[in-house]
Amino acid sequence: MTDCEELREPALRVFFRLAEEWSLSEQEQSILLASNVGELGRWRQGIANDVGADVLTRVSLLLGIYKALHTLFADRGQANAWLRRNHVAGEFLDTTALGHMLSNGLPGMQRVHGKLVGQLE
């Protein structure tokens, strides 16, 4: 069994918990994972044999974003709300971090992750 195969199910379990905590719609979930609603349904049921490295990379970035937010903000609600808060300065000017990720896919997720990790240093 390869590393990718071993990580599929645990990564998806983490993703669906994050999606619930962040109140992500099914459409937002499918966009973030570059998948479709049918795939999400199968993955939610534990049928994950078609999950590839791209999906695992996306889940890894989202988990890193979650961890950074909960390190930066002591309050859980504030940490989770940050994704949907309109930003008034910086590279997410007049948008939300979630909106940026949804509009820009993997590069957007990498930018949000990088911004948050940079604030931790």
17-29 pLDDT per residue, tens = 999 999 999 999 9
Split into its structural domains, the chain has a count of 1
Query: Counting beta carbons within 10 angstroms of the beta carbon of residue 92, is it exposed (0 to 12), middle (13 to 18) or buried (19 or more)?
Result: buried
Query: How large is the average pLDDT for residues 107-111?
Result: 95
Q: Which two tokens stand for residue 6?
A: 């071993």
pTM of the model: 0.91
Q: Which of 73, 50, 52, 55 is nearest to 16 (CA)?
A: 55
Q: What Å distances lie between residue 44 and 11, 30, 36, 72, 90, CA to CA?
A: 11, 12, 12, 30, 36
Instruction: Select the more confidently predicted residue: 104 or 3.
Output: 104
Instruction: Select the more confidently predicted residue: 11 or 92.
Output: 11
Domain interval for residue 111? 3-120
37-89 pLDDT per residue, tens = 899 999 999 888 888 899 999 999 999 999 999 999 999 999 999 999 887 66
pLDDT of residue 3: 64
